[in-house]
Amino acid sequence: MSDDPINPLLLQAFAWDLPADSSHWRLLADNAALLADCGVTSAWLPPAYKGRAGAEDVGYGVYDTYDLGEFDQKGSVATKYGTKDEYLAAVEALHAAGIAVVADIVLNHRMGADATEVVRAFPVDPEDRRRPIGPAEEITAWTRYTFPGRAGAYSDFTWDWTCFHGTDWDEARHLAGVWLFEGKQWSEHVTDELGNYDYLMGTDVQVTDPRVAAELDRWGRWYVETTGVDGLRLDALKHMGADFFARWLPELRRATGRDLPAVGEYWSREVSELQRYLEVVPFTSLFDVPLHFHLHAASASNGDVDLSRLFEGTLVGADPARAVTFVENHDTQPGQSLASTIQSWFKPSAYALILLREAGTPCIFWGDLFGTPETGDLPAVTELPLLMTMRRSLAHGRQHDALDEPDIIGFAREGDDAHPGSGLAVVLSDRRAGSKRIDVGARHAGERWICVLGGHEPVVIGDDGAVELPVSDGGLSAYVPEAAQAILEGAEQRLLRQR
């Protein structure tokens, strides 16, 4: 997301099932220095505004984007994560630790309306939203948002059905479906899944309506100026016309005088879809969803995936400067809407592939760093603190790839003079044990390198800068110069008191 610092590392600083005890902002503030010590340079925080379920809402059931845990609405003052003051204190603490803050921006939909309205709407086929399945009819829709608990503070804008495209519930008949409001059209420039996938959930915001667009512009300025956040994570991009963010982002940057680097969630396995979006919105990054699915397949295929082609058809392969790589997130963890969990045995290898290579900006997941004790679904990846430290201190210099076999691949970083002791080599397997000859650079000729992951014996680098490195079946081996041992010492203990 940023050209500075040298090895940026984004932390998704939440998981879906965090305790609903309004304590998370305090936890982040208390541990900001610890996260920075582990190499985190940016933290993506969950949606900070009030959702329809109040203190139980993860944040994506957006009700009032002006309520950051300040007003008694939806049964609580605090959000799931805490109060507005605690949120601002967490941002301040992260900044003090040298960590940039990335805010989660959810503008696609609203939920939890304060009142219903009778609206004429066309029922449409849920499998093809372009196709009406009946004439226009009257439905009773939850479309009136007046925010009585906020009483006009910060904005007196109220929402009614004219601010939306459609909805999925008729209160009068207690009937679920998908309805397009009469006189409205679904947005263009969205994914063509389900014919037109503009509608996702709740009441679908018509971001192109001039009144709505002006209000979202005002809110964006208010939010950035109020919170002091440094960057943005943009939710549900494939459900919003690309032309909206093509206008909204530059206008927000101009109005606030802030760079506001952004990364978007466009959930598609096809890199061509991501590239088409970036043609319209070239000044953002995207999460590398195709790579996530390649990693998922490698973990679940019993060795039948060709590892040498792992980066083919990925955003990091096609456009590394705008690729944010990830292994897991709140939607892919077990039980969630896009569940495609990377199996535990492969996660250390997956993280090595995104953390230690030069291309892309990696994002690590809270649930992998700390586990998810609330559900027990995800154990902590115990190798992750070490890999994070290796990224910060050792993953520098020229990269040498050995991506030439379907079952065993490897790569190395030469290191550089600016980072004493730097350099590393990685070999991983998805099935059989074996070895791989890796070029680590002639600058390391004659050096003794130690195995910090994999449990193998030390090796001596040949005169040509190459070395044969072993790997166990389905395993990960990581080697570093012996001089790096002091740098890495104790890395796996850095987060122990939080796990």
Query: Would the annotation count 64 as a binding residue?
Result: no
Of these residues, 17, 235, 319, 377, which one is catalytic?
235
Query: Would the annotation count 330 as a binding residue?
Result: no
Of these residues, 64, 86, 230, 265, which one is catalytic?
265
Q: Which tokens in the block code for residue 215? A: 């209000």
Query: Would the annotation count 288 as a binding residue?
Result: no
Query: Would the annotation count 474 as a binding residue?
Result: no
405 is catalytic: no
How far is it, in rounded angstroms, from Cα 244 to Cα 267? 18
Query: Would the annotation count 108 as a binding residue?
Result: yes
138 is catalytic: no
Q: Is 337 exposed, middle or buried (0-12, 13-18, 19+ CB in 10 A)?
A: exposed
How far is it, in rounded angstroms, from Cα 33 to Cα 42? 12
Q: How many CB atoms lie within 10 A of CB 418?
A: 9
Query: Would the annotation count 407 as a binding residue?
Result: yes
Query: Would the annotation count 198 as a binding residue?
Result: yes
Q: For residue 62, how far is the Cα from the chain centroid?
A: 18
Residues comprising the binding site for Ca(2+)?
Answer: 108, 198, 204, 239, 303, 407, 430
Residues catalogued as catalytic: 235, 265
Residues comprising the binding site?
Answer: 108, 198, 204, 239, 303, 407, 430
